[in-house]
Amino acid sequence: MSFKLPKLSYSYKDFEPYIDRKTMEIHYNKHHASYTDNLNKAISGTDMMNLPIEKILRRACMETPAVRNNSGGFYNHNLFWKILIPHSEYTDPSIFLNEVIRKNFNSFDLFKNQFSTAASNRFGSGWAWLCCIKENQLTICSTANQDNPIMSGIGCEGIPILGLDVWEHAYYLQYQNRRLDYISSFWNIINWKKVEENYNKVVNNFHG
């Protein structure tokens, strides 16, 4: 089995002015494509060839750097593309999801501030995450490079339902060193319906 670059449900220009077309094109066709190709090379001839990506991630920290970096890069970007939306139909959480967020962070604004802080304080390259630990329990954390909360022993627990890429390749063409402006723009293009679907899927797996 080999992993494949997922098809996008939108065009590269659909996120302007928040993310420019050229950044989207390079991010997807160069960076994500490279992680996908290199993951397949890294697991070729091993028992990981027949494992789903989540099982590879759980053991990634005990594998080679190539497996760890590229399995994370493949999974992280798959999630990232799916929680973006180029129009405003789902750019507000539902009443249900907003209540779950409120229970964990006291208000949506406090959640937004805490998530943005995690993204802005990540030194160098990495990700900020909203994770589900169990039903009605969410947490925010950040990981370096292409690590993610599914990996063992990285001090960031839970299953990610929302993630923000803060590698420079995700924003530098448009924002240069203004990471805070990029983070602010991110809140305009989140597909909260998909985030809620991710949450419900995680909760159902807990129950299963």
The string of DSSP letters for the chain reads ----PPPPSS-GGGGTTTS-HHHHHHIIIIIIHHHHHHHHHHHTTSGGGGS-HHHHHHHGGGS-HHHHHHHHHHHHHHHHHHTB-SSSTT-S--HHHHHHHHHHHSSHHHHHHHHHHHHHH--SSEEEEEEEEETTEEEEEEEETT--TTSTTSS--SEEEEEEE-SGGGTHHHHTT-HHHHHHHHTTSB-HHHHHHHHHHHHHHHH-
Mean pLDDT by 10 residues, the chain (208 residues): 92 96 98 98 96 96 97 98 84 93 98 98 97 95 98 93 98 98 97 96 85
Q: Is the dihedral of CA 68, 74, 80, 83 positive or negative?
A: negative
Fold of 20-82: Helix Hairpins (1.10.287)
Provide the pLDDT for residue 207. 76
Residues of the chain with CATH 3.55.40.20: 95-207
CATH number, domain 95-207: 3.55.40.20
Provide the pLDDT for residue 55. 97
Provide the pLDDT for residue 88. 64
Provide the pLDDT for residue 89. 64
Q: Which amino acid, residue 38?
A: N
Please state the pTM of the whole predicted model: 0.96
